[in-house]
Amino acid sequence: MIGAIAAGAIGAFVQAPITADFLIIAGGGGGGKDGAGGGGAGGYLNSKTGETSGGGQSAQSKLSLTAGITYTITVGNGGAGSTSNSATGVAGGNSSIAGTGITTVTATGGGGGGSRDFAKDGGAGGSGGGGTRSGGSGGTPTASPVQGYAGQGGLATAPGGGGGGAGELGGTDGQGDGGDGLDSTISGSNVTRGGGGGGGAGDGSRATVGGAGGGGAGGNGTSTAPVAGSANTGGGGGGGSNETIYVNGAAGGSGVVIISAGVAAASTTGSPSNPSLGIYIYNGDGSITF
């Protein structure tokens, strides 16, 4: 009888799984060189009800976490901008959440912008990089599930193509701007992330604009250097111009991982910010245990 009571008491203290929302954004791609495409935004995966993931996808399934299990957080770096006509900008690094009992959730790094003249096409990735102004094609989103949009192809008499954003295609304006990112309130305030990088222009050409959500503007001839994607947004880097200076591409922005569980963690590493109960924002690698 005592054994039965003890067993029942132990069973009564088994903790239910912790349901947690997440936003995972990979690093943005670097811009290409010389009349180049902008970098694509890092892949964007969001489980918050009422919001969307990148590429027009529905919210992901929420995480079911177990108390006492340590979950590993990886935050992707932004890709370097290209300094060679024979190479696209470097793709961004992947971001992820992994641990025992869950399927690893991975956001794919953004594709790099195409470089003139030997690597004209934008790279594939979470969102695709833009192509060069000399006929390059925009890169495609290759992650599964889809996490962003394609980059724009290069325009023969205009800037290189804009990198794709989490929320729209690169260059929807037809002028090489980066695609816009997406809004999320998972951190407790509304923040836009995941913008694509703008393509590189010629001297006197209209300067391109990076996509809303951290995308870097493209270079503009002899007057404006390309802009790096903003840190911890997954924004793509701006493409380099086709003039005598500012020809190299700019780097993409690093990614971010946000977990919202509604309960305090037992321990964390990596110094995440904690704006309110149960919300943890990782701007770099770390871990969390509930």
The 3-state DSSP class for residue 38 equals coil
Query: Taking Cα atoms as reference points, which of 166, 187, 189 lies closest to residue 259?
Result: 187
User: How many Å apart are CA 220 and CA 208, to the nearest integer?
Assistant: 8
User: How many Å apart are CA 84 and CA 187, to the nearest integer?
Assistant: 39
Which helix (DSSP H) or strand (DSSP E) does residue 3 occupy? Answer: helix 2-12
- For 165, the token pair is 């954003």
- Domain regions of the chain by residue span: 17-290
- For 220, the token pair is 């503009």
Amino acid at 193: R
Q: What are phi and psi of 289, to 5 degrees?
A: -130, 130
pLDDT score recorded for residue 78: 98
Strand boundaries in the chain, DSSP class E? 18-25, 44-46, 63-65, 70-74, 95-98, 105-107, 182-184, 191-193, 256-260, 267-269, 279-282, 286-289
User: How many Å apart are CA 116 and CA 219, to the nearest integer?
Assistant: 14
Give, for all 290 residues of the chain, the pLDDT tens digit: 444 444 444 444 557 899 999 999 999 999 999 999 999 999 999 999 999 999 999 999 999 999 999 999 999 999 999 999 999 999 999 999 999 999 999 999 999 999 987 889 999 999 999 999 888 999 999 999 999 999 999 877 778 999 999 999 999 887 899 999 999 999 999 999 999 999 999 877 778 999 999 999 999 988 889 999 999 999 999 999 988 889 999 999 999 999 999 999 999 999 999 999 999 999 999 999 99
The 3-state DSSP class for residue 56 equals helix
User: How many Å apart are CA 28 and CA 148, to the nearest integer?
Assistant: 11
Residue 133, Cβ neighbours under 10 Å: how many? Answer: 31
How many degrees, rounded to 5, is the angle at CA 43 between CA 189 and CA 92? 110
Distances (CA, A) of 22 to 18, 40, 144, 172: 13, 22, 17, 29
